[in-house]
Amino acid sequence: MRPSSYHRLHSLLIASLAMTFAGCADSLQPAKIGSYALKQDTVQSIPPRIYVANESTNDVSVIDATSFQPIGTIPSLNHSTHDLAVSRDGRRLYASNLASGRVSVIDTVKRETIASIYTGERCHVVALSNDDSQLWVANIGENTISIIDTKTFRILGTIPVGKGPTGLTFSHDGRFAFVSGQGDKTVGVVDTASHQIVKSIPVGANPHFMVVSRDGHVWGVNTGQNDIYVLDPETHEKVGSFVVGDKPQQIAFAYKGTAGPLAYVTVGSLNKVIGLAGDPKELKIVDEIAVGEGPNGIWSNQEGTRLFVAHDKGNEIRVIDTGTGQTIATVPVGRKPIRVVVSR
């Protein structure tokens, strides 16, 4: 065979092999889940789950969100498990651990902790960015926010914030993060592009957990006082407040029949959940639900017909029908449950 013919045949063989392997690569392309590459047929569908952070037993309780039956317990492999954030596909759960200064990364399919990431002294609350690509973590002991890449579990950077950051949430458009500071009695507004604090809003004593309503307003509780506050998403001004009782803890939104959504607030001193309605400037109490001892964490189902209330003294979750105000299930969990979240 002449050299020129050999080279032509060799080139054709290489091109043919390349096309063959390219086709195989497309057909075997794995589905990316977190930092793991799993074949498509191994991806499992996860039904809605209730997750509860138990601070004194250092673990997370898992409950079926339909039957309300306990499924199991996941050790955080850290200490003082406090706050939770669940990914939008339900496959990752992130838990802050106050005493360890670490975030536990939990695989919800395997129901096990797969990573532990040190972020800073007394890491307190966690919040996922709107696209789930980043996890922001508030570190009370260092007055910082740590930003974690949720694919590599690496810390991308740290943002200095006010004193004692204890609450954290994002605006609907993702342009701003809101960070409450118990030492400053303020909420700092952080530009998520520049990572700079662009505004500081006085709100009251010991501002804690925050949540964004469906219309974009930022709601928060002052656990050191007796009131809640509401921030305007556009002007970043405090536009409302309301006295609900000593030691308000957390807020969730749900419907009472056709009325709503109402803002339901757990009030520790009253052992009640208080339902608020109206314009943020003219709020009023429209519902009061008696619950167990020490109501703290609260979450609603996607339809807004059920409330899940964690009791840090009763060591239980109560499931409440918001239409009737009745408890329809009580589920024992670990000691001192602080936070409850529900996957979609």
pLDDT, position 45: 72
Q: Is the peptide bond before 261 cis (omega within 30 degrees of 0)?
A: yes
276: enclosing H helix or E strand: strand 272-277
pLDDT, position 19: 36
For the domain made up of 244-344, the CATH class stated in words is mainly beta
Query: How far apart are alpha carbons 310 and 54 in whole angstroms?
Result: 10
pTM: 0.87
Residue 123 tokens read as: 């890491």
pLDDT, position 46: 83
pLDDT, position 231: 98
- Domains of the chain, residue spans: 244-344
Residues in CB range of 181: below 8 A, 6 or more apart: 143, 161, 162, 163, 164, 165, 166, 187, 188, 207
Residue 87 tokens read as: 């990914």
pLDDT, position 44: 60
Q: Which amino acid is at 300?
A: S
Query: How far apart are alpha carbons 98 and 155 in whole angstroms?
Result: 18
Query: How far apart are alpha carbons 53 and 162 in whole angstroms?
Result: 25
Query: How far apart are alpha carbons 84 and 6 in whole angstroms?
Result: 64
Place of tokens 């029949």: 257
Question: Torsion angle, CA of 7/10/12/17, rounded to 10 degrees?
Answer: -160
Does residue 93 contact residue 86 with C-beta atoms inside 8 Å? Answer: yes
Nearest to 291 by CA among 328, 323, 263: 328
Residue 252 tokens read as: 């969730």
Query: How far apart are alpha carbons 220 and 214 in whole angstroms?
Result: 14
Does residue 222 contact residue 244 with C-beta atoms inside 8 Å? Answer: no
What pLDDT tens digit does each residue of the chain (344 aa) get?
Answer: 444 443 443 444 334 433 333 333 332 222 222 333 333 334 567 899 999 999 999 999 999 999 999 999 999 999 999 999 999 999 999 999 999 999 999 999 999 999 999 999 999 999 999 999 999 999 999 999 999 999 999 999 999 999 999 999 999 999 999 999 999 999 999 999 999 999 999 999 999 999 999 999 999 999 999 999 999 999 999 999 999 999 999 999 999 999 999 999 999 999 999 999 999 999 999 999 999 999 999 999 999 999 999 999 999 999 999 999 999 999 999 999 999 999 98
